[in-house]
């Protein structure tokens, strides 16, 4: 089975649009602000995708662009301004920042209740403590798909390749919160295949095209390929899709798998943020 991320995302969008309508009846329009520093073309493309998704479900969105050479103080000042605006429910700082600058301080200046990417330490801490609030969108999309597919997570053998703050680490915490058994592999893992062959659920987020080959995958595994790599004029994942689909019971394609789910979760969390803020008024 090919996991159709676009179809799953469309379902989330329908539900999200209904929640937006409900808020509108109370006079509230959810708003998302994206913040981009510089002119990274890939970031600009991701931002366009996010804004058009917002438009589809009725979320008002705006893109704040700061010049490449903006200081950390400039960025934090802008974020503080957005924190203070009642019409902005969610703030997303598009990464990476230029010149390898650390986003840590800027991330921390986003109000946790507006942190729709779930990267603020308060939200990450809540996730680790099993009290999920706003969480990183890609792991949330994967959990959503597994639950929608009716996959039992309790006791499931899950293996994650990649231990980034964006995907691997939060996903490990989310799977543990649902009582899966979790192994997390990374670039220093000695024998990757030895671990991946255990996986009933295999999630690959390494950014290395063709990293996962057929012989590394257990018969019947559910495989989520998070990787987005440009190879020539094609976008490919981290999994050798054509070969692995022969052994997997279900697999996400790239493109059209995890990517659309990630964007759908951003919409969902922006509306959740608006709902929570409305409850405080
Ligand atoms: P990252 O560079 O921060 O982390 C990469 C991880 O992979 C690290 O843990 C590293 O140790 C591990 N790794 C690298 N090479 C490896 C190897 N040979 N064997 C085992 N582990 C290895 O990356 P990230 O931000 O987590 O993103 C990973 C990939 O997922 C990228 O291709 C990125 O573009 C993509 N991504 C996609 C989405 C989406 O919505 N589809 C979202 C986030 C990231």
Residues 122-144 have pLDDT tens digits of 999 999 999 999 999 999 999 99
CATH code for position 197: 3.40.50.720
In a domain, 108, yes or no: yes
CA 200 and chain centroid, separation: 21
What share of the chain in percent tops pLDDT 90? Answer: 99
Q: Number of folded domains in the chain?
A: 2
**Would you say the CB of residue 186 lies under 6 angstroms from ligand 1?**
yes
What is the 279 CA–ligand 1 centroid distance (Å)?
37
Can you tell me which atom of ligand 1 is nearest the CA of 208? 15
Q: Which residues, in sequence order, are CB contacts of 223 under 8 Å at separation 6+?
A: 202, 203, 204, 212, 217, 239, 244, 248, 250, 251, 252
Provide the β-strand partners of residue 182: 158
- Could you tell me if 247 and 225 are in contact, meaning their C-beta atoms sit under 8 angstroms apart? no
Backbone angles phi, psi at 165, to 5 degrees: -70, -20
- Which pLDDT belongs to residue 133? 96
**Would you say the CB of residue 22 lies under 6 angstroms from ligand 1?**
no
Asked whether residue 144 falls in the same domain as residue 210, the answer is yes
Q: How far is CA 236 from CA 91, 218, 228, 277, in A?
A: 29, 21, 6, 39
For 245, the token pair is 């689909």
Instruction: For residue 62, give its domain range.
Output: 28-113
In a domain, 205, yes or no: yes
Q: Is the peptide bond before 97 cis (omega within 30 degrees of 0)?
A: no
Decide if pLDDT at 281 tops 90.
Answer: no
What is the 82 CA–ligand 1 centroid distance (Å)?
30
Asked whether residue 153 falls in the same domain as residue 231, the answer is yes
Q: Please indicate whether residue 22 is annotated as part of the active site.
A: no
Q: Please indicate whether residue 117 is annotated as part of the active site.
A: yes
Asked whether residue 142 falls in the same domain as residue 108, the answer is no
Can you tell me which atom of ligand 1 is nearest the CA of 263? 40
Runs of H (alpha helix) within the chain: 5-25, 41-57, 72-83, 104-109, 121-128, 137-148, 168-177, 192-196, 241-244, 258-280
Asked whether residue 238 falls in the same domain as residue 171, the answer is yes
Q: Which of 97, 113, 129 is where one domain is finished? A: 113
d(CA 267, CA 224): 21
Closest to 91 (Cα-Cα) out of 273, 259, 263, 258 = 273
Asked whether residue 253 falls in the same domain as residue 141, the answer is yes
- Which pLDDT belongs to residue 199? 98
In a domain, 5, yes or no: no
Read off the pLDDT of each residue in 4-8 and give the average, rounded to a whole number. 98
Asked whether residue 44 falls in the same domain as residue 76, the answer is yes
Predicted confidence (pLDDT) per residue in 181-201, tens digit: 999 999 999 999 999 999 999
pLDDT band, very low/low/confident/very high, at 268 (cuts 50, 70, 90):
very high
**Would you say the CB of residue 229 lies under 6 angstroms from ligand 1?**
yes
DSSP string, 99-139: GG---HHHHHHS-GGGBTT--SHHHHHHHHTT--SS--HHH
Asked whether residue 53 falls in the same domain as residue 161, the answer is no
From 159, 183, 206, mutation site for ligand 1 pocket: most ligand atoms within 8 A of C-beta? 206
Decide if pLDDT at 280 tops 80.
Answer: no
What is the 205 CA–ligand 1 centroid distance (Å)?
4
CB atoms within 10 A of CB 24: 12
- Could you tell me if 185 and 195 are in contact, meaning their C-beta atoms sit under 8 angstroms apart? yes
pLDDT band, very low/low/confident/very high, at 113 (cuts 50, 70, 90):
very high
d(CA 157, CA 197): 10
Helix (H, G, I), strand (E, B) or coil at 262: helix
**Would you say the CB of residue 171 lies under 6 angstroms from ligand 1?**
no
- Which pLDDT belongs to residue 94? 98
For 178, the token pair is 């649902």
In a domain, 159, yes or no: yes
CATH code for position 89: 3.40.50.10860
- Which pLDDT belongs to residue 52? 98
Asked whether residue 150 falls in the same domain as residue 255, the answer is yes
């Amino acid at each position: 089975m090919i996991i159709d991320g676009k179809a799953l995302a469309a379902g989330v969008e329908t539900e999200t649009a209904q929640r937006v309508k409900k808020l509108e009846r109370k006079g509230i329009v959810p708003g998302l602000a994206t913040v981009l520093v510089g002119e990274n073309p890939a970031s600009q493309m991701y931002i366009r995708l996010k804004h058009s998704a917002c438009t589809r479900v009725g979320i008002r969105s705006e893109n704040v662009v700061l010049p490449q050479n903006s200081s950390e103080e400039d960025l934090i000042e802008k974020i503080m301004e957005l924190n203070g605006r009642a019409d902005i429910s969610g703030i997303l700082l598009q990464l990476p920042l230029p010149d390898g600058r650390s986003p840590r301080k800027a991330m921390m200046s986003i109000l946790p209740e507006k942190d729709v990417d779930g990267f603020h330490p308060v939200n990450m801490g809540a996730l680790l403590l099993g009290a999920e609030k706003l969480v990183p969108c890609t792991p949330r999309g994967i959990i959503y798909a597994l639950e929608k597919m009716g996959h039992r997570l309790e006791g499931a053998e899950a293996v994650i390749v990649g231990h980034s703050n964006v995907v691997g680490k939060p996903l490990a915490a989310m799977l543990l919160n649902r009582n899966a058994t979790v192994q997390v592999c990374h670039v220093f893992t000695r024998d990757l295949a030895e671990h991946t062959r255990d996986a009933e659920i295999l999630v690959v987020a390494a950014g290395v095209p063709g990293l996962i080959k057929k012989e590394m995958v257990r018969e019947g595994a559910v495989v989520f390929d998070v990787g987005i790599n440009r190879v020539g004029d094609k976008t490919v994942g981290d999994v050798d899709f054509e070969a692995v689909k022969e052994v997997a019971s279900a697999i996400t394609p790239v493109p059209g798998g995890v990517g659309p789910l990630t964007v759908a979760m951003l919409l969902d969390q922006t509306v959740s943020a608006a709902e929570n803020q409305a409850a405080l008024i």
